[in-house]
Homo-oligomer: A and B are copies of this chain.
Amino acid sequence: MAEQPSKIDFYFDFASPYAWLISDRLEHLAARYQREVVWRPVLLFAIFKAVGLPAPMETDAKRRYMLHDMERSARYYGVPYRHPANFPAISPVPGRLFYGIGEREPAQAKTFARQALKAHFVDGKDITRPEVVTEIAGQAGIPAGSVEAALTGERGKSLLRESIEDATRRGVIGSPFVIVDDEPFFGADRLDHIEWWLKSRTRAEA
């Protein structure tokens, strides 16, 4: 009996352009290798603080380069992208909703996360606002009562905090950060490396 291939952990921040740039492509890649992607939103500023890294956007020279690279990378990958007005946003609201919903309805939570990234990085929505996030969740088919409970309850909040601690323990240093079979890959530009890894594992198991 073949063992179930392990899932792919996708750590990301809802405010991270590079997370949006890899998200759909990562899902498509994983599907081709019969792997499931587990979305794990975190708050980067909390991880940076925990591991002692400065936020990249804090340094002028790096900020200038990254803003340019984000837009050019979107064109290169063929992913729609419009730089959001509030950037970088602090994203506890969609994170809490995601985990508040995700325990019972992982598929709905993933749909919400995907649509929240799109809303923020294509449609210019301010995903720090509960009413905006509520609307996106509604469009993702999540009942209004569940949204309300997830946003105001303690469960989403504490699961988000646990996920940040878990990410910090596992060496996450930015977004997107993908872990496949304990192998860490940082950045939207690591998709080819991830595919190379998946391919080598598939051959090894064949």
Among the 9-residue stretches A101-109, A114-122, A185-193, the one with 4 or more Cβ atoms under 8 Å from chain B is A185-193
Whole-angstrom distance between the alpha carbons of A193 and B196 in the complex? 18
Q: Nearest residue in B to A53 (C-beta to C-beta)?
A: B59
Is A173 an interface residue, CB under 8 A from the partner? yes
Whole-angstrom distance between the alpha carbons of A65 and B178 in the complex? 12
Within 8 A of B (CB), among A41-71: 51-54, 59-62, 64-65, 68-69
**Binary interface profile of A, 168-206, with partner B (CB < 8 Å = 1, else 0)?**
100101000000000110110110110010000000000
Of B60, B68, B76, the contact of A196 (CB 8 Å cutoff): B76
Given contacts A187-B189, A189-B190, contact A171 B72 (CB under 8 A): no
Whole-angstrom distance between the alpha carbons of A171 and B53 in the complex? 21
Is A73 an interface residue, CB under 8 A from the partner? yes
Whole-angstrom distance between the alpha carbons of A124 and B61 in the complex? 33
When the two chains form their complex, are residues B61 and A173 in contact, meaning their CB atoms are under 8 A apart?
yes
A contact face: mostly helix, strand, loop, or mixed: helix
When the two chains form their complex, are residues A60 and B65 in contact, meaning their CB atoms are under 8 A apart?
no
- Which B residues are in CB contact (< 8 Å) with A61? 51-53, 168, 171, 173
Of B54, B69, B190, B192, the contact of A54 (CB 8 Å cutoff): B54
Given A65-B171, A189-B190, 15 other A-B contacts at CB below 8 A? A51-B60, A51-B61, A51-B62, A52-B59, A53-B61, A53-B62, A61-B173, A65-B173, A65-B184, A65-B186, A68-B184, A69-B184, A72-B193, A76-B192, A76-B193
